[in-house]
Amino acid sequence: MPQQKKYILGIESSCDDTAAAVLCNGKILSNIVASQEVHVKYGGVVPELASRAHQKNIVPVIDLALKEAGITKNDLDAVAFTRGPGLLGSLLVGTSFAKSLALGLGIPLIDVNHMQAHILAHFIEEEGYSKPSFPFLALTISGGHTQIVKVSNYFEMEVIGETLDDAVGEAFDKSAKILGLPYPGGPLIDKYAQLGNPEAFHFPKPKVGDLNFSFSGLKTSVLYFIQKKTKEDPAFIEQNLEDLCASIQYTIVNILMDKLKKAVKQTGIRQIAIAGGVSANSGIRSTLKAAEAKFGWKSYIPKFEYTTDNAAMIAIAGYYKFLEEDFADMSVAATARIQM
């Protein structure tokens, strides 16, 4: 008997991207993201401006997602949305819209944890991409989070290590800012790093116990190093930008790899999946690929468009909840901080 088609609309509005996607039985039919340029001139996300931009973008973004998927809202079987974690004012926009749409259409409403969704993006059906099998370790690296998660099942996830201060994305963005690069600087550090010598400059690695991370010290040592060097030579950054970026990236990748190796040793799990915006980083991708041959790991690297914030990951997480009939009721509220 042919499988019945189930259409899930995913809505993501936790930070500064307004996103909507339509999923049909594990396959993505459309994946729309409206990024907010308004924050660039402030060098970081301004929560109140993000919330206002979500309000402006949400209707056209959802409309386009439905159009590109070739369906209308009446074909939808459920609406999934990001409940948290994230910026409250931003989350409220997606949450309120999802609630009214589900209520109006008389279909189930599904709340999704943004961090779980980053990991579940690995279960989107895509040609050329295989899905990890349980259990696996997820390294969740974004602008807001740095976690090592033991994933035993779709919704059975345990955080076994996390950052005690800055997230890895912040380490990239703040270092980039010190180098005079615009926000978000992570992709730019990556771009210049590919042309530089990763061992040109040495930055200390933090001493943090267990499987936890710390990135605030790196930012400070980059700052002091740059202040000292530019005092001696005002053109220092300009003349060494590629080597600086390569060295900063190399230090960050090493910090992540050290803890991953420790996590593999502790758990005996050798399947590693990366998730979150920073998993777009070329240094992390190539180091993990190399670890397959070097340490006998199997690494899973998501398709680029499913790494940074997107609604396809919300739709796939919603789909697995849909299959279990794990629905939310109308009292569900946006929640800035939620645990796995």
Query: Please, which residues bridge with residue 27 across strands?
Result: 24
Cis peptide before 184 (omega within 30 of 0): yes
| 3-state DSSP percent of the chain in helix, strand and coil, to 5 | 45, 20, 35
DSSP 277: G
How far apart are CB 38 and ligand KG4 at their closest, in Å? 16
Minimum CB distance to Zn ion smaller for 142 or for 146: 142
Q: How far apart are CA 40 and CA 320, in angstroms?
A: 36
Minimum CB distance to ligand KG4 smaller for 78 or for 111: 111
Two tokens at 324?
A: 């279990």
The yes or no reply on residue 251 touching Zn ion (CB under 5 A) is: no
Reading across the β-sheet that carries 136-141, which strands appear in turn?
156-162, 146-153, 136-141, 271-275, 298-300
The yes or no reply on residue 142 touching Zn ion (CB under 5 A) is: yes
- Residue indicated by tokens 């390294």: 139
Single out the residue of 144, 196, 302, 318 in contact with ligand KG4 (rule: CB under 6 A). 144
Burial class (CB in 10 A: 0-12, 13-18, 19+), 70: exposed
Site for ligand KG4 in 124-143 (CB under 6 A): 142-143
DSSP 3: P
- Residue indicated by tokens 């936790």: 14
The yes or no reply on residue 186 touching ligand KG4 (CB under 6 A) is: yes
Site for ligand KG4 in 276-315 (CB under 6 A): 276-278, 280-281, 308-309
Size of the site for ligand KG4 (CB under 6 A): 18
Minimum CB distance to Zn ion smaller for 16 or for 126: 16
**Only segment of 185-193, 228-236, 266-274, 322-330 that touches ligand KG4 (CB under 6 A):** 185-193
Two tokens at 283?
A: 């240094």
Question: Among ligand KG4, Zn ion, none, what does residue 132 contact (CB within 5–8 Å per kind)?
Answer: none
Minimum CB distance to ligand KG4 smaller for 226 or for 278: 278
Site for Zn ion in 288-327 (CB under 5 A): 309
Binding site for ligand KG4 (CB under 6 A): 15, 142-144, 169, 172-173, 184, 186-187, 190, 276-278, 280-281, 308-309
